């Protein structure tokens, strides 16, 4: 205990240097927060690098391309004019040259299979010489449904990004640069897809984090007004509550650690924890001055802080242990939250006592007379004690009912992974729904089907089995417009009948191809 009082006295002795250091650290942290603030809600934060499912996903991306696809919808005012499709083709050429884009696809560059006397060949739906082959758009509907809506008044462009590992360093540039190229060709359009939804959720997280911080500060200030013995302590308390958050976020963003939808709760956690500690410290110090003051400013501060450190230390250690347990989670998002919540609580505990020691010194060793009117902490505690003593059985009964209701509520809890729930109303949501309505479902994903025996998947028997599987998914309402080799085979079988009548040998050749 003697050592603790010595530490507090040393803090007061070096107060000017400590204040200068804190001012410098806070200034640096605010600059880092303003310039390096990052938010990441991408898929990677929910998987460990050695997770087998995640590794399979990355392998699939390398072989088949990324599943991160941006969908651009351009309104067709009159008809599919060559000028419109030429603009789309020029846009695709620009976008395809970007380092984070693998390829793009639209009606301007799409090809369809057709049968000639030479066999199966690919032909452009649009060409400068003959314009748009509208007959093929209707005939090859399994393909064209992805490129233009059924009313033919919305043209769709798909932009496939490069594999995740190759584009992470460009993540913040992807959407702005693609928008820049689109704006140079079109004014009226809608843009969506998983990268846009991720960006929308990131912005929502940033907005919600700032909102939570402001609301927490307001409530903290209100509570401090009632819970502190003297209003002069309010600025000191606010500094002790706010500084740990600023320093922690400065450290996080300085190390390049982005915020995610779980770690966004850290500011509120630290503020509530800091409120609890600073209220204890100030009230115990004020009580010490009233009951057993030594008459010496520095000694009173050291003794008063020493009296409060044991209960605050135990609550800090238990809280830190709870958050540090998140480090052992398999999810990177939870691990990051656990580590930095642990560090933040450590910052908060240390700064509460450093700021209190220096603040008490400058405020003076005697508080102003206590307010006789109003809701002080002592009066609140006394009122709670009187109420609980007068109605113990009723309190127990109501508590049991609430516990039972809580247990029932937990049993009905449902987990939702709908990404739209993380996006606030605005352009991201409205454009998503607009494209979804035009395309009869915006979500695109790939199903990789392999033979258990490792056999060739292009044999007629295997393709027939895949067709049965595909049709069953459609029948159950899980898919709307699937595209696979099955569709191409059925299309070619139907289109080939007109050729087989004139050239019977062509049938066997087409089947082989």
Q: Are 96 and 103 in contact (CB under 8 A)?
A: yes
- How confident is residue 1, by pLDDT bands cut at 50, 70 and 90? very low
**Three-state SS for 114?**
strand
When comparing pLDDT for 111 and 503, which is higher?
111
d(CA 121, CA 119): 6
Does residue 456 carry a pLDDT above 80?
no
Please report which helix (H) or strand (E) contains residue 105, including its range.
strand 101-106
**pLDDT over 90 percentage in the chain:** 13
**So what's the pLDDT on residue 349?**
92
Pinpoint the alpha helices (H) of 364-459.
377-390, 392-411, 427-439
Does residue 321 carry a pLDDT above 80?
yes
The domains found in the chain, sorted by start residue, are 2-36+228-363 (1.20.1640.10), 460-512 (no CATH)
Question: Which residues neighbour 211 within 8 Å (Cβ) at sequence distance 6 or greater?
Answer: none
- Least confident range from 11-15, 192-196, 432-436, 446-450: namely 446-450
Digit-coded pLDDT (tens) for 170-201: 877 888 899 999 999 988 888 888 888 777 77
Query: What is the Cα 108 distance to its own chain's centre?
Result: 35
- Which residue's structure tokens are 């928008």? 179
Dihedral pair phi/psi, residue 12, rounded to 5°: -65, -40
């Amino acid at each position: 205990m003697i050592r603790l009082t010595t530490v507090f006295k040393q803090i007061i002795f070096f107060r000017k240097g400590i204040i200068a250091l804190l001012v410098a650290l806070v200034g640096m942290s605010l600059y880092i927060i303003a310039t390096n603030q990052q938010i990441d809600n991408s898929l990677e934060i929910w998987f460990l690098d050695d997770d087998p499912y995640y590794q399979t996903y990355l392998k699939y991306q390398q072989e088949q391309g990324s599943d991160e696809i941006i969908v651009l919808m351009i309104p067709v005012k009159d008809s599919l004019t060559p000028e419109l499709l030429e603009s789309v083709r020029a846009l695709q050429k620009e976008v395809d040259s970007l380092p984070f884009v693998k390829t793009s696809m639209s009606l301007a560059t799409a090809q369809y299979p057709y049968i000639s006397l030479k066999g199966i060949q690919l032909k452009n739906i649009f060409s400068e010489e003959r314009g748009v082959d509208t007959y093929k758009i209707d005939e090859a509907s399994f393909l064209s449904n992805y490129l233009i809506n059924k009313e033919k008044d919305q043209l769709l462009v798909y932009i496939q990004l490069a594999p995740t590992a190759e584009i992470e360093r460009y993540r913040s540039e992807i959407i702005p640069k693609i928008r820049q190229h689109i704006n140079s060709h079109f004014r009226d359009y809608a843009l969506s897809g998983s990268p846009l939804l991720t960006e929308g959720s990131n912005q929502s997280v940033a907005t919600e984090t700032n909102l939570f911080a402001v609301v927490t500060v307001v409530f903290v200030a209100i509570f401090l007004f009632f819970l502190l013995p003297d209003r002069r302590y309010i600025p000191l308390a606010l500094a002790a509550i706010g500084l740990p958050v600023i320093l922690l976020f400065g450290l996080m963003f300085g190390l390049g650690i982005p915020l995610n939808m779980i770690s966004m709760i850290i500011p509120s956690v630290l503020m509530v924890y800091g409120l609890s500690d600073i209220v204890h410290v100030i009230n115990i110090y004020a009580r010490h001055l009233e009951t057993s003051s030594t008459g010496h400013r520095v000694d009173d501060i050291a003794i008063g802080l020493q009296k409060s450190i044991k209960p605050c230390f135990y609550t800090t250690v238990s809280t830190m242990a709870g958050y540090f347990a998140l480090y052992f989670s398999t999810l990177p998002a939870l691990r990051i939250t656990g580590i930095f919540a642990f560090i933040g609580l450590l910052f908060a505990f240390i700064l509460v006592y450093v700021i209190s020691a220096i603040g008490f010194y400058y405020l003076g060793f005697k508080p102003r007379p206590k307010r006789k009117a109003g809701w002080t902490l002592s009066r609140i505690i006394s009122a709670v004690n009187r109420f609980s003593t007068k109605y113990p059985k009723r309190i127990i009964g109501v508590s049991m009912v609430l516990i039972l209701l809580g247990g029932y509520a937990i049993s009905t809890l449902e987990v939702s992974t709908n990404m739209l729930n993380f996006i606030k109303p605005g352009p991201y949501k409205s454009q998503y729904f607009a494209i979804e309505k035009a395309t009869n479902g915006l979500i695109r994903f790939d199903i990789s089907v392999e033979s258990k025996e490792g056999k060739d998947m292009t044999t007629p028997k295997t393709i027939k089995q895949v067709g049965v599987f595909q049709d069953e998914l459609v029948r159950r309402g899980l898919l709307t417009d699937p595209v696979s080799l099955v569709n191409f085979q059925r299309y070619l079988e139907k289109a080939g009948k007109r050729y087989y009548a004139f050239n019977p040998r062509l049938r066997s050749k087409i089947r082989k191809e």
